[in-house]
Amino acid sequence: MTLLAAALLPWLGAALLFGQRNDARDRCAWLAGAVVALAIAALVASVPAVAGGDIVRVSWPWLPTLGVNFGFRLDGLALMFAGLVLGIGLVIVLYARYYLAEGEPIARFYGLLLTFMGAMQGMVLADNLILLVVFWELTGLSSFLLIGFWSQRADARQGARMALAITGGGGLALLAGVVLIGSAVGSYDLDAVLAAGPALHAHPYYLPALVLVLLGAFTKSAQFPFHFWLPQAMAAPTPVSAYLHSATLVKAGVFLLARLYPALGGSDAWFYLVSAAGVATLLLGAVLALFQHDIKGLLAYSTISHLGLITLLFGLDRPLAMVAGVFHIVNHATFKASLFMAAGIIDHESGSRDMRRLHGLYRYMPHTATLAMTAAAAMAGVPLLNGFLSKEMFFAETLLLGERGALAWALPAVATLAGLFSVAYSVRFIHDVFFNGTAVDLPRTPHEPPRWMRVPVELLVLVCLLVGVLPGLTVAPLLHLAAGAAYGGELPPYSLGVWHGLNLPLLMSVLALVGGVAVYVGLHRWVDMHTLELTAYSGKAAFERLLAWLLAGAGRVTRWIDDGRLGRYMALLLLAAIAAGAWPLWRHGYQPGDVAGQAMPPIIALIWLVGLLAAVIATLLHRQRLVAVILLGIAGLVVGLAFVYLSAPDLALTQILIEMASLLLLLLALGRLPHDAPAEPVARRLRDAGIALLAGGGVTALLYGVLTRPTTSISEYFLGQAYPLGGGRNVVNVIIVDFRGFDTLGEIAVLALAGLIVHAVLRRLRRAPRPQAGLASDRHPLLLTLLSGLLLPLASAVAVFLLLRGHNLPGGGFIAGLVLALALLVQYLARGSAWVDARLHTGFEVWIAAGLLLAGLTGVAAWLFGHPFLTSTTAHPVLPLLGELPLASAMAFDLGVFAVVVGATLLALLSLARRQPRGAG
């Protein structure tokens, strides 16, 4: 269970932090730090098992039809990444306490930070691909909120949207790739997928699955050509940049490459696709980083370059390249997080990140400068620091491609060139910021930060030093576990020693160090780098052009469809339905069955003919709105009588009551409309008539084809089981509140939401300019007032009667709710809203909330007795005088339905009728 705690504690911490006050800075920081520390302790408790070669697992059934569990899996690779997520997260928590200014919503910040941490933990620990994709998307959503934390800034909003669009699109590609892998392997379980590498390679789905998965990984880890979103995300607060864009979010893509390497790696397609993206990103990021003027911009492009280095190592398809890639993930996370936090300190204490203004800071903040220079040296690959070791391994692996032809010399040259630029931009950072004369027009005089703000940087720089000097004692055991799990097999012998003798990798390192310094010195002496703007491939501009084109196209389509006429919307909807129905008929033809129909009594045929004529005449006279409403009411009444004839009394009651409510609704709506509708062109009327005939004829043909074929109905099951299982003899009501109670709960939730939306939209409409009769009028006809006073108690009694008998006879909560709602609406019409509201002390929003709560609690109560959600039970106590009294727990659920129907119906209808002026209360 310690694994479960390590995975879920960040989510618990996030929930607690969202409930804290934003001015409780110390409490929020202590709470966030304590939660992360506990998660680290839980993770450490599982280390002995993983070190012993075991894979720690915990899971519960989740999607049994897909064979997918909700579970977590801890092996060496997951252990290393989870340790990075939690370990660097802990120092970020401390750093953010001092970075964020007074008055900023620190509780929300820590809540979002721990939400992202929980998503990352879930992703690296997921034991199946479906769960991995779920948490993958949660990392994107939570990072969107963190990048846009300063929502008042346009660049933060733009950067957040761009990051979400790019990584979200990659997430969709990853989902498609995961589905293909699951279909090819026959399972989404991670163990099964990793063991199915050879079979997956031979499957036709391999190449499309590989491309889709790589799209997900490349977008997340900012690989060319998707690299441009990362610099735009630097508008986030520096703690976010230090955490997401050095150690966690951008590492998700390379984690995916490492995780799925046993299944997808080892092919020419993998080598060329992954290596090509890695080489392009490595070189492009290194060159662009040198010419940035913002410290965070330089660090962002250097991050892109180092992510390309890791991707290239994974693409080389060699076991020691995998070791080097995993090693560099750890090293890059430590020195880059420390550099981002140092950049935040410089910005915090000087008011600027512009290297054209920041000079000579060493004399003002020597301690911070020393830490930043050490971390920058690690980034440049200076000996005795951790970056040197993994870069040496990288150089060594590029020299072992003799079987790849021209790549045997081209790749080492590119690697050395990228290393040279890495040194150059690191030297520029050190020289421009801490030396190079005096500062220019800074907002405030620089000074050292608060002591505890510097501690996180000190800890990470100390790690850079210890790993660089003592790699065998510090990182070697974890590295071996992580790389072995990523490679999926035994690793050949390798050494993490600081000195490997005079060899070609060392020569490449020397060339990179000396050449990088020379390049920067030359540029600094002969070129004014502070005025130089390097223009290159701009993915940002291409993305913005594509976005503008898509928005313009969407606008044109919207203007064509959304012209403000309901008739156009209905025509397009019906045409789409006609096309969908005609397609299978066109392919397979139409063939009705041979089941004989039943004779219809003449009186029933006459009634249905009246309904048909009412509908047709209402269509022809639709311009006369009042006449059309009356005719539609007649047609609805005929439908109710048809339900009576077909032995469906519940449906008949519901239909008649709905017709009454609809009639009142339409009459209220007519008060806002002219008495007559405007005339329509003849061509449009002919078009609409043709569409209507096609739709009506199609539905008639479909129903005739179904009704004339023999069918096996499930009605016998419900008729036989309604009383034994549901305790009721009204099969319709038992189905609604028991067999499909969960559906009904969703339906009343939709009804409640519809009523609330109508109320929210209409409550601020201006009063119509001409006097209106109805709820807003003070005239109350005496006869209507007297009759409504008699109607309400009678209707209330009928509603209670229908509610109580609904489980055994026609009735139920929906029908009873409509009866009471109509009776109350008549009171409003007769006496005015002020009179009724003064006596009805509860708003209808409360009715809705109470009904939903009661219906939900009815379902939860079943859990307390060990039964599935919304399982009902019955009892038949014998009472004195009353005799046997049938009781059902579904009555409580039906009462909730009753309350929601009353509340939502009246809330919507009264909102339409009251017409408060804009701004009224």
For residue range 242-276, list pLDDT tens digits in order: 999 888 899 999 999 999 999 999 899 999 999 99
Contact 217, 253 (CB under 8 A): yes
**Average pLDDT of the segment spanning 682-702:** 88
What is the structure's pLDDT at 792? Answer: 87
Q: For residue 387, which of 437, 439, 342, 324 has the smallest C-alpha distance?
A: 324
Contact 273, 330 (CB under 8 A): no
Query: What number of CA atoms fall less than 13 Å from residue 392's CA on the CB side?
Result: 24
Contact 138, 122 (CB under 8 A): yes
What is the structure's pLDDT at 768? Answer: 44
What is the structure's pLDDT at 13? Answer: 95
Backbone angles phi, psi at 104, to 5 degrees: -80, 150
pLDDT digits (tens, 9 = 90+) for 703-743: 888 888 887 788 888 888 888 888 888 888 889 888 888 89
In this prediction, residue 767 has a pLDDT band, given cuts at 50, 70 and 90, of: very low
Question: SS3 of 677, please?
Answer: coil
**Cβ count near 692 (within 10 Å):** 14
Q: For residue 216, which of 87, 129, 89, 156 has the smallest C-alpha distance?
A: 129
**Average pLDDT of the segment spanning 869-881:** 79
pLDDT at 624 over 90: no
pLDDT digits (tens, 9 = 90+) for 769-815: 444 444 544 466 778 788 888 888 999 999 999 998 888 888 889 99
Contacts of 300 (CB under 8 A, 6+ apart): 230, 231, 233, 234, 241, 245, 289, 292
Q: And the tokens for 170?
A: 């990659």
Q: Please spell the DSSP secondary structure of 682-706, one letter per residue.
A: HHHHHHHHHHHHHHHHHHHHHHHHH
What is the structure's pLDDT at 253? Answer: 94
Contact 257, 277 (CB under 8 A): no
Query: Among 113-127, 190-204, 754-768, which is the least confidently predicted range?
Result: 754-768
**Average pLDDT of the segment spanning 745-771:** 77
Backbone angles phi, psi at 196, to 5 degrees: -100, 20
Q: What percent helix, strand, coil does the chain show, rounded to 5?
A: 70, 5, 25
Strand residue runs (E) in 686-805 = none
What is the structure's pLDDT at 660? Answer: 87
What is the structure's pLDDT at 535? Answer: 54
Q: And the tokens for 206?
A: 């391999």
Q: For residue 304, which of 389, 364, 219 has the smallest C-alpha distance?
A: 219
Positive or negative CA dihedral for 264, 265, 267, 268? positive
pLDDT digits (tens, 9 = 90+) for 323-382: 999 999 999 999 999 999 999 999 999 989 999 888 899 999 999 999 999 999 999 999
Q: Please spell the DSSP secondary structure of 280-304, one letter per residue.
A: HHHHHHHHHHHT--BHHHHHHHHHH
- Segments in 562-601 forming alpha helices (H): 566-588
Contacts of 726 (CB under 8 A, 6+ apart): 734, 737, 738, 739, 807, 872, 874, 888, 890
In this prediction, residue 457 has a pLDDT band, given cuts at 50, 70 and 90, of: very high
| Residue 768: burial class (beta carbons within 10 Å; 0-12, 13-18, 19+) | exposed
Question: In angstroms, rounded to a whole number, what is the distance separating the alpha carbons of residues 110 and 118?
Answer: 12
**Cβ count near 613 (within 10 Å):** 14
What is the structure's pLDDT at 123? Answer: 96
Query: Among 166-170, 314-318, 483-487, 762-766, which is the least confidently predicted range?
Result: 762-766
pLDDT digits (tens, 9 = 90+) for 177-216: 999 999 999 999 999 999 999 999 999 999 999 999 999 9
Question: In angstroms, rounded to a whole number, what is the distance separating the alpha carbons of residues 155 and 237?
Answer: 12
Q: Please spell the DSSP secondary structure of 619-657, one letter per residue.
A: HHTTTBHHHHHHHHHHHHHHHHHHHHHTT-HHHHHHHHH
Q: Which amino acid is located at 581 in the chain?
A: G
pLDDT digits (tens, 9 = 90+) for 635-644: 999 999 999 9
What is the structure's pLDDT at 918? Answer: 40
Boundaries of every domain in the chain: 267-501, 731-921
Contact 906, 751 (CB under 8 A): no
Secondary structure letter of residue 917 according to DSSP: P
For residue 592, whether the previous peptide bond is cis, meaning omega lies within 30 degrees of 0, is: no
Contact 490, 484 (CB under 8 A): yes
What is the structure's pLDDT at 626? Answer: 83
Query: Among 63-77, 260-274, 498-512, 535-549, which is the least confidently predicted range?
Result: 535-549
Q: For residue 773, which of 626, 668, 663, 910 has the smallest C-alpha distance?
A: 668
pLDDT at 919 over 50: no
What is the structure's pLDDT at 915? Answer: 53
Give percent of the chain above pLDDT 70.
96
Positive or negative CA dihedral for 320, 323, 325, 327? negative
Contacts of 216 (CB under 8 A, 6+ apart): 136, 170, 171, 173, 174, 177, 253, 256
Question: In angstroms, rounded to a whole number, what is the distance separating the alpha carbons of residues 253 and 771?
Answer: 65
Query: Among 151-155, 259-263, 739-743, 872-876, which is the least confidently predicted range?
Result: 872-876
Q: What is the mean pLDDT of the chain?
A: 88
Place of tokens 């010195």: 521
Question: In angstroms, rounded to a whole number, what is the distance separating the alpha carbons of residues 126 and 128?
Answer: 6
Question: In angstroms, rounded to a whole number, what is the distance separating the alpha carbons of residues 415 and 381?
Answer: 13
What is the structure's pLDDT at 770? Answer: 43
Query: Among 127-141, 263-277, 735-749, 834-848, which is the least confidently predicted range?
Result: 834-848
**Average pLDDT of the segment spanning 576-583:** 90
How would you classify residue 766: left for phi > 0, otherwise alpha for psi between -120 and 50, otherwise beta? beta
Contact 161, 233 (CB under 8 A): no
Helix (H) or strand (E) holding 887: strand 887-888
Q: Please spell the DSSP secondary structure of 16-79, one letter per residue.
A: HHHTS-TT-HHHHHHHHHHHHHHHHHHHHHTHHHHHTT--EEEEEEEEGGGTEEEEEEE-HHHH
